[in-house]
A = this chain, B = another copy of it.
Amino acid sequence: MTIREPQQERSRATHQRLLEATIECLADRGWSGTTVGVVAQRAGVSRGAIQHHFPTREDLITSALEFMFDHRMNEVRIAAEGLPFGPRRVESVVVRLVDYFTGVFFKAALQVWTAAAADAALRERVLPLELKFGRKIHQVAIELLDADDEDPTTHRLVQATLDLARGLGLADVLTDDSRRRSEIVKTWAAHLSTALSTVDEPEVANNF
């Protein structure tokens, strides 16, 4: 038993390294450049070992997306733990959500989504992931903003925040857009903070 445990630990570490390498490879080399061979080399594992767990390239890539998305959402949650409540919190949460859309994971997912736009079979595989990711990040945003998702205005403002963050992510794909982005994030966070705090007051709610 004492021998098996380190082995299982090692095997789990290899598995995670493989999925991380897949995401990094997608972000750097794109959909067509992300072959099992290239990922194997980057992760330092054999092609055979990969193909044992993931029979096709598509299996490897969609598994990497699922695993790493959960990992990233945990990171966003952990980064937001202990933030004080109030207007500064809204800005910090928006910053963390935007960080997700400008990170390596989003750049990798973009490669897969864009390839899926021109490939019906891939689209079928990716659509459930898109649905899952969209629901989950909305739920995380609501939780971190401590917002009432039952309120239709709040629901839409949080959706708009995530759509804005997605657009900022896309604007960062070819160039470092961080300076421009930080100004926009500040401006929107201030708006969102005001809007969310007035949503509870029925007299004001109709203005939005």
Contact = CB atoms under 8 A, between A and B. Distances in A.
**Interface majority SS on A: helix, strand, loop or mixed?**
helix
A156 B183 contact: yes
B174 A126 contact: yes
Interface in A146-183: 153, 156-157, 159-160, 162-171, 173-175, 180, 183
A160 B188 contact: yes
Contacts of A110: 114, 117, 170
Category for how many chain A residues contact B:
35 or more
Closest 5 CB pairs of A and B: A30-B118, A167-B167, A166-B167, A163-B167, A114-B114
Interface of A: 27-30, 32-33, 107, 110-111, 113-119, 123, 126-127, 130, 134, 153, 156-157, 159-160, 162-171, 173-175, 180, 183-184, 187-188, 190-191, 194-195, 207-208
